[in-house]
């Protein structure tokens, strides 16, 4: 999905404000957009008084001026020694950009400088960015690794555990007992978010539910595992299945991919659902008919909106013929049918992570206290894409 314009411009401001003057070509490379696009953004930000434009560079509105006066010491203030907080998030990831801006708000209010690093798509892209940030003197690290599969996650455990600066993971929960188990982290409780989705549908009378979910992030894997546990434990749920929401929703062949590209996991009493070939688009309408399902939980938002469009093309109307709950709530409200959605507290995750990191950096009493593994609860935004199940007329 294309990144929203305002979000991209906020990222430009973050980079320029943290580094000072930055070349337009550098911004284009880091944000993975064209120079023409960045130039247009800089012009608009300059017109709004948020940046200053030079020849091929973007400058902050206020730049430090030389002074003959001796400044008063400010050793008690965060960032007074010139070090910044490195903030590392994946490119083109709207969900985590909301987390990024929550963290940014707290850091800017504290007076802490921010060094923003956008990690490209390949596995392991975060490590060289972190090493560069530390070489530049970063005092602390906020990071949300992409972790497309369990293997890439475990490969990061060693070097992240060996960092010598305070580090907080955002929206990531390392495997229990791993080298990162004792690293500070702030994450959404995705088990509870999945519970909200299932509980809402069950309360409306739905007894046969499909989860169409991604499998290329820690969030996706948490949702799939939680749905399997919750649906199997609910006596009201007569039949359930798990399939891939998109042919691109897996990290690729390997031990972490679902069997046969997304074989459904089903309740023991139910007949096995057909395997979903990950090379072809999911025919959700056909699956609903085959399972007799009346409701679906769809992760993430973009896949959910596309699947709802395909349902309409197949003559299945939401919510008349199928009730839908999306998971992520980044763009779920923007479809022609606004989707009821589970909304993880994305910005609050960033704020809580930044506050924890600032405490670790403060040197105050208790700053080096016990490791914290904080979980924040998602909420359910009801918008009408799920309705009470009407029994068929006999």
The 10s digit of each residue's pLDDT in 170-207 is: 999 988 899 999 999 999 999 999 999 999 999 999 99
- pLDDT value at position 276? 39
pLDDT at 18 over 60: yes
Mean pLDDT of the chain: 83
Q: Report the distance separating Cα 146 and Cα 133, nearest Å.
A: 18
Q: Is residue 294 exposed (0-12), middle (13-18) or buried (19+ Cβ within 10 Å)?
A: buried
- pLDDT value at position 63? 53
Q: Which residue has the higher pLDDT, 68 or 25?
A: 25
Average pLDDT over residues 22-39: 83
Q: Report the distance separating Cα 143 and Cα 49, nearest Å.
A: 30
Asked if residue 292 lies in contact with residue 208, where contact means CB atoms within 8 angstroms, the answer is yes
The phi and psi torsions of 166 (rounded to 5 degrees) equal: -55, 135
Inter-axis angle of helices 5-19 and 24-31, nearest 10: 130
CA triple 256-260-263, angle to 5 deg:
90
Cis, bond preceding 319 (omega within 30 deg of 0): yes
Q: Tell me: the pLDDT tens digits for 291-337?
A: 999 999 999 999 999 999 999 999 999 999 999 999 999 999 998 89
| DSSP-assigned letter for residue 370 | S
Cis, bond preceding 164 (omega within 30 deg of 0): no
Query: Which residues in 87-110 are b (16+ Cβ under 10 Å) and which e?
Result: bbbbbebbbbbbbbbbbbebbeeb
Q: Which two tokens stand for residue 94?
A: 């709207």
- pLDDT value at position 66? 39
Average pLDDT over residues 357-383: 89
- pLDDT value at position 134? 92
pTM: 0.74
If DSSP codes are grouped into helix, strand and coil, which group holds residue 161?
helix
Q: Tell me: the pLDDT tens digits for 91-144?
A: 878 888 899 989 999 998 988 999 999 998 888 899 999 999 999 999 999 999
What is the side-by-side strand order in the sheet with 340-343? 239-244, 208-213, 295-299, 323-327, 340-343, 379-381
Q: Report the distance separating Cα 296 and Cα 95, nearest Å.
A: 21
Average pLDDT over residues 221-233: 96
- pLDDT value at position 60? 85
Q: Report the distance separating Cα 270 and Cα 268, nearest Å.
A: 5
The phi and psi torsions of 89 (rounded to 5 degrees) equal: -135, 160
């Amino acid at each position: 999905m294309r990144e929203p314009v305002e979000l991209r411009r906020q990222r430009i401001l973050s980079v320029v404000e943290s580094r000072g003057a930055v070349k337009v070509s550098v911004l284009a490379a880091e944000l993975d957009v064209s120079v023409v696009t960045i130039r247009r953004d800089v012009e608009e930000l300059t017109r709004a008084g948020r940046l200053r434009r030079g020849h091929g560079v973007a400058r902050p509105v206020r730049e430090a001026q030389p002074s003959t006066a001796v400044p008063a010491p400010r050793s008690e203030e965060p960032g007074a020694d010139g070090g910044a907080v490195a903030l590392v998030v994946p490119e083109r990831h709207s969900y985590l950009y909301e987390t990024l801006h929550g963290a940014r708000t707290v850091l800017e209010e504290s007076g802490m400088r921010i060094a923003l690093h956008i990690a490209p798509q390949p596995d392991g892209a975060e490590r060289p960015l972190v090493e560069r940030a530390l070489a530049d003197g970063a005092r602390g690290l906020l990071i949300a690794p992409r972790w497309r599969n369990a293997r890439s996650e475990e490969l990061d455990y060693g070097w992240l555990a060996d960092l010598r600066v305070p580090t907080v993971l955002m929206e990531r929960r390392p495997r229990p007992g791993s080298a990162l188990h004792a690293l500070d982290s702030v994450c959404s409780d995705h088990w509870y978010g999945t519970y909200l989705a299932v509980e809402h549908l069950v309360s409306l009378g739905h007894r046969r539910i499909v989860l169409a979910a991604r499998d290329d992030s820690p969030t996706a894997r948490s949702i799939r595992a939680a749905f399997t546990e919750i649906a199997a434990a609910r006596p009201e749920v007569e039949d359930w299945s798990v399939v891939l929401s998109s042919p691109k929703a897996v990290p690729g062949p390997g031990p972490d991919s679902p069997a046969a590209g997304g074989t459904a996991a089903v309740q023991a009493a139910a007949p096995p659902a057909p395997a979903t070939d990950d090379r072809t688009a999911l025919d959700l309408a056909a699956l609903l008919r085959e399972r007799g399902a009346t409701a679906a939980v769809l992760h993430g938002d973009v896949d959910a909106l596309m699947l709802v469009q395909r349902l309409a093309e197949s003559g299945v109307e939401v919510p008349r013929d199928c009730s839908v709950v999306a998971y992520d709530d980044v763009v779920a409200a923007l479809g022609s049918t606004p989707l009821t959605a589970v909304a993880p507290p994305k910005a609050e995750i960033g704020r809580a992570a930044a506050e924890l990191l600032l405490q670790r950096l403060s040197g105050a009493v208790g700053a080096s206290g016990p490791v914290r593994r904080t979980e924040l609860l998602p909420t359910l935004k009801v918008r009408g894409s799920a309705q009470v199940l009407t029994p068929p007329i006999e």
